[in-house]
Amino acid sequence: MDYTFFMLPLKVIENTERGSDEEGNFILYGGRKIYRLHLIGTIAAIEVNEESGSGYFVLDDTFSTILVHFQTPLFNMFTDISRGSSVEVLGTIDIFNDSLTLRLGNIKKVTLERYSYNKIQSIKNMMELSK
């Protein structure tokens, strides 16, 4: 199993080949199966359903967006996170209506310094895998 974490620009992953096996949904990039993504971006929109303890947000990394959905117990973390927050997320790849989405595993707010550092890392990772 190639259960890899990558910090990649969303524009790169949105047009990758997708698949599913006994381990779950994945994307193929650089000859590797990627099941989970570690991304950074800004929350462009958020919808929280207090009744069900679930919701979703749109993560924007400047070049593209991805829909990220979450359930309880991560629901409680959204008292401190809102539209416009810079965040780092870790999630499992999911396919919904033939669209690539992310099932949230963890989220944290980040500083501008951390955001900039991770942006540089994502570009380095993209260049390394494209060799």
Highest CATH level, class, for 10-111:
mainly beta
Mean pLDDT of 17-33: 87
Q: How much is the pLDDT for 85?
A: 92
Read off the amino acid at residue 16.
T
- Give residue-wise pLDDT tens across range 82-99: 899 999 999 999 987 878
**pLDDT classification of 119: cutoffs 50, 70, 90:** confident
Evaluate the CA torsion angle 88, 60, 91, 85 in order and state its sign: positive
Residue 64 and residue 15 in contact, taking contact as beta carbons nearer than 8 Å: no
| Residue 10 pLDDT exceeds 50 | yes
The values of phi and psi at residue 119, to 5°, are -65, -45
Rounded Cα distance, 128 and 94, in Å: 25
Mean pLDDT of 48-74: 86
For residue 70, list its beta bridge partners: 55
**pLDDT classification of 1: cutoffs 50, 70, 90:** very low
Read off the amino acid at residue 18.
R
Q: How much is the pLDDT for 99?
A: 84
| Residue 34 pLDDT exceeds 80 | yes
* DSSP 8-state symbol, 84: T
> Distances from the Cα of 120 to the Cαs of 9, 116, 131, in angstroms?
10, 6, 17
Closest of 39, 36, 13 to residue 100, by C-alpha: 13
Give the DSSP H or E segment for 39.
strand 36-49
Percent of the chain at pLDDT > 70 equals 90
| Residue 40 pLDDT exceeds 80 | yes
**pLDDT classification of 129: cutoffs 50, 70, 90:** low
| Residue spans per domain, the chain | 10-111
pTM of the prediction?
Answer: 0.84
